Amino acid sequence: MWLSILGLILGISLGLLTDIQIPPEYANYLSIAVLASLDTLFGGIRAHLQQVYDDKVFVSGFFFNIALAAGLAFLGVHLGVDLYLAAIFAFGVRLFQNIAVIRRIILTKWAEKKELRETQG
Amino acid sequence: MKNPKKSNRRFSKSIIFSLVFLVLGFIMAYSFSLSQAEKNKSGYTGGAFFEQEERFRGQLIEQQERNKDLRAELEEKQAAVQKYEQSFSDGPDRFSDYADEAESLRRYVGALPVEGDGLKVTLQDGEYDGNSENPNDYIVHESHVFQVINELYISGAQAISVNGQRIDGNSYIVCTGPVITVDGVQYPAPFTIEAIGKSDVLESSMKLSGGVMDQLLNDNIIVTLDMGQKISMPAMLSES
């Protein structure tokens, strides 16, 4: 747990401190990568709450989704098709769905807890 | 046997997680800083000549303001150095001698404003002469200014200024049409050449028969000599 928080802080500081300039047309890929990683993260949280979580799926999904999204955007730029829109759409929709599921699970858990307390008290 | 294996697995799991979070944090922070940089860049839309000019003007004004600041700082520093040297003179004699020498040298090179007795020479264009076809025959040229300055230096002037601007070894005087340019600053006639030194010596050397004054009068220039005045000159800090 602490190690992962340390990793997050390290990553953020590394990202803020890097001075590498990339051409603006590649900024698209980065935004898609951000979206993909967020999607995978929330997917992982949802899977954990639904007790179907698996390490390998999560980690492989995390890196593979990032690579796939960036690759798709790259391909789209070179084909002249806005393929990154597809990635943004897919990940955006999934992100919202995942968050909705997480919210519902947490709500039901909370309601169960409350009921349990009332029956006990 | 079972427990260490389990903790080992947990350890590797947390390693993997930290790696994942590292990548996540890096990507997010990097894209954040990138979009921030983009925002800064988009202030200048480019292309239009007008905007470019405006931008350059802004830069120029910035530079000039910085120059002004730096000049003020320089003056401050010089004052500080002078003060420091004066504080030496309270100490051993050697130091005070050095300080005095530095001070006098500084006066010579024009780094300090100076004041003293001297001679003031005013060169004025001659009266308009209808008979003369060439106006060059009765206006002051830069060579006349040269002559006067040279003569003053020869007769022992310690500091010379033209129209209130200090002259030193690197100064230049150019004829630019009807005016003359002294170290990049233009002046019209009449020219006031001030010299600090022994005013009687300076005056008599100007008035030598066949000397500078006679030559100037020969060229139809109105020359006025003014002696016995306190002459003060600014420091040589011209913007060239």
Nearest by CB to residue B18, choosing from A7, A33, A38, is A7
> Who has greater pLDDT, A52 or B71?
B71
Residues forming a β-bridge with B180: B175, B187
Q: What percent of chain B has pLDDT over 90?
A: 9
Q: Which residues pair with B118 in a beta bridge?
A: B196, B229
pLDDT reported for residue B219: 82
* Backbone Cα Rg of chain B: 34
Domain map (residue ranges) of chain B:
1-35, 49-99, 114-233
Query: Could you report the per-residue pLDDT of B149-176, keeping only the tens digit for each?
Result: 888 889 888 888 888 888 887 888 888 8
Q: What is the mean pLDDT of chain B?
A: 80
Q: Are A40 and B54 in contact (CB under 8 A)?
A: no
Candidate CATH numbers 3.20.20.220, 3.30.70.1880, 2.60.40.1180, 3.30.70.360; the one for domain B114-233: 3.30.70.1880
ipTM (interface pTM): 0.74
On whether any CB of chain B is under 8 Å from the CB of A52, the answer is no
CA dist., res. A112 & res. B3, Å (int): 34
Kindly report the pTM of this predicted structure.
Answer: 0.42
What single letter denotes the amino acid at residue B22? L
Optimal mutation site among A22, A35, A37, A84, interface B, most CBs of chain B within 10 A: A37
Q: What is the pLDDT of residue B40?
A: 67
Q: Where are the domains of chain A?
A: 20-120
In this structure, what token pair is assigned to residue A90?
Answer: 């897919």
CB proximity list for A104: less than 8 A, separation 6 or greater: none
pLDDT category of residue B76 using cuts at 50, 70 and 90: very high
Nearest CA to CA, how far is B15 from chain A (Å)?
Answer: 7
Q: Which residues contact B55 (CB under 8 A, 6 or more apart)?
A: B44
Structure tokens that stand for B213 in this block: 């004054």
pLDDT at residue A92 tops 80: yes
The structure tokens listed for B94 are 């050697």
What is the rounded distance in angstroms from the CA atom of residue A37 to the CA atom of residue A43? 10
The CA distances from residue B188 to B141, B151, B176, B178, B184, in Å, are 11, 22, 10, 7, 13
Residue B117 φ/ψ, nearest 5 degrees: -70, 155
